[in-house]
Structure 1
Amino acid sequence: MTNFLDPETVQQLFEQGIAFVSIHGLNILIALLIFVFGRMIAKRIAELTRLAMRKSNVDETLRAFLRNIIYYALLAAVIIMALGQTGLNITSFLAVLGAAGLAIGLALKDSLSNFAAGVMLIMLRFFKKGDFIKAAGETGKVTAINIFNTILTTADNRAIIVPNSSVLSGTIINITANDTRRVDLVMGIGYDDDLLKAKELLKKIVKEEPRVLAEPEPLVEVLELADSSVNFAVRPWCKTEDYWGVYYAITEKVKIVFDQEGISIPYPQTDVHLYKTDA
């Protein structure tokens, strides 16, 4: 068995190495310089692009995403140029790379679907970080919009990770998109209660709530004659961040004032009438 540490073998390897360097050394050096300086230029171009987008007030997530896309695309071109300088057959290399890319694409088609959906969400800006949305059957505050998924934080502080394809394929409700919201309340009174008095009390309660906006004007009207109650539609407007505070405050105040004024708040009930008949 040949000893790989044999002096003669080492001498042959050394001579072959010297011959290889003498033939291809310059090309290898140029390829290394192309890679090093090309990488620096790619990084600089990507950073300048990011700064330009920041001056144009482009979304932060989109800036980072486009910056990375530009950088890695330029880096791929630099690597191909460097390999070409070494004398490798770039055509064969690209063919193999294309075949590998096709195989990877087929294997990761679901991930690529989420990737494409993430690009669309970032570019179209249906919602942004900090918005409270309902999408893909989930409701929560948008914590992050990533390339493959969107992270929501629920009111009870749970993190929900939703694939971007699921978000984009369904209806998206952006609850905090506008500065103001209408609070929709339904308040019922008994059929024997004074309807006009109850209506005036509801208007007074809404007017006295400091977070209710004067414009648009709050609405208090009879909504329906239900089975067990006469229902009022109470619809004040408020700032979006005050929505639940106004909702809870008015509901509590209605109960207190109606009790003080002797107006009943009925619950579902059924009247049963019994008639005697001769045997």
Structure 2
Amino acid sequence: MQTPPPEAPVPFLEAARRALEGDPVMVREVLGAVGAFSVRLLVAALILALTLWAAKRLSNFARRALGRLPHRNHPGDTTLSDFLSGLVKWLVIAVGLVAVLQQVGVQTASVLAILGAASLAVGLALQGTLSNVAAGVMILLLRPYRIGDRVEIHGRSGKISDLDLFHTTVVDYDGLTLVYPNGKVFGELIVNVDGSGRRRIDLAFGVDYEDDLDLALRLLLECAAADPRVLKDPEPWSRVTSLDDSAVSVTLRCWTTPADWQNAKCDLIKTVKERFEAEGLSFPFPQRVMMMREVSSTDDAKGSLVLSPTSS
């Protein structure tokens, strides 16, 4: 005896029509389907509410955790914390939405495949922008410079005026605004003038060979000690550094803060010149001496004088 084949499932619209016509079997099936769908819809709503709650809590946790990292986040600079907390929030929401769609019966495999292909296409089209974002994240994490620091990038010097995930903005000393993509900045040499909190001044002066070198070295140290902008640690340093053609070079090395470096250097040059002259030390300059010699000529009985310039 053969078993009769199972009846094919009745389409939902057909079942609804037959239920409206009073078919008790169809009424029970429609009510059961609606009840099951209502339960799944309620569960999906609970998953969505839990997802939104978890996204908010986890994003706040990521923001606080990043703020507690030492030497990473500058007070008042929330660019990195905002980016990472937003990234965590939307990742949690994306996972929750996939669970909600699965709960209500949507086949998410095809949707994820389409989204993956679209993301790949967008990523290939915006690979330069995405590389700038990646470099911006690394800059914000490693902090080779901060807003307000004086830097040298690509041979141009200036002060950092703005920093985000895409660009670094520098205002140079001529008042020009330079906008660098972060991808170009992160892969090049970055000179941070303010990074160490101090900067060295090197000043070389030429004195006459007949002058007192010990006096010159002592005057250099006195000039540095008299300037309040010169740091006591490291101590100022002065030595004879070279014997030139017309002068003996004495060098002063001292340290100041980066903010005082320019003015302190210029003022020290003026102060040292005045002190040297007041103590009788001279600043020799290159001289040209004309040597005269007599050259005999076989054709002329009289000799002739030839001037031969030499430098000293």
Q: TM-score, normalised by structure 2?
A: 0.71
User: Structure 2 vs 1, CA of residues 37 and 105 (structure 1 numbering), >3 Å: closer, same or farther?
Assistant: same
Partner residue of 1:98? 116
Partner residue of 1:39? 52
Give me the identity figure in percent: 34
1:249 to 267, 271, 276: 267
Q: Tell me, yes or no, if the aligned pair for 1:218 and 1:236 is still in contact at 8 Å.
A: yes
Q: CA deviation at 1:29?
A: 7.2
Q: CA deviation at 1:33?
A: 6.3
Counterpart CA distance in 1 for 2:267 and 2:93 is 59
- Greater radius of gyration (CA): 2
Counterpart CA distance in 2 for 1:144 and 1:197 is 49
Deviation per residue, 1:220-262 (Å, 9 max, x gap):
1111122443222110123343322321220111222234344
Structure with bigger RCO (C-alpha 8 Å, 6+ apart): 1
Deviation per residue, 1:8-51 (Å, 9 max, x gap):
xxxxxxx9xxxxxx979846776566546533431232023212
Aligned amino acid, residue 42 of structure 1:
A
What aligned pairs does 1:104-253 form with structure 2 within 5 A after superposition?
A: 104-253=122-271
SS at match of 2:296: coil
Aligned pair count?
261
Comparing 249-258 with 93-102, greater Cα deviation is found at 249-258
Specify which structure has the higher proportion of strand.
2
Comparing 96-105 with 262-271, greater Cα deviation is found at 262-271
Specify which structure has the higher proportion of helix.
1
Q: For the aligned residues, what is the CA RMSD?
A: 3.2
SS at match of 1:139: strand
Q: Tell me, yes or no, if the aligned pair for 1:136 and 1:162 is still in contact at 8 Å.
A: no
Aligned amino acid, residue 254 of structure 1:
V
Structure 2 unaligned spans of 5+: 1-15, 17-32, 298-312
Counterpart CA distance in 1 for 2:246 and 2:92 is 72
Partner residue of 1:48? 61
Counterpart CA distance in 2 for 1:200 and 1:53 is 52
Counterpart CA distance in 1 for 2:154 and 2:271 is 36
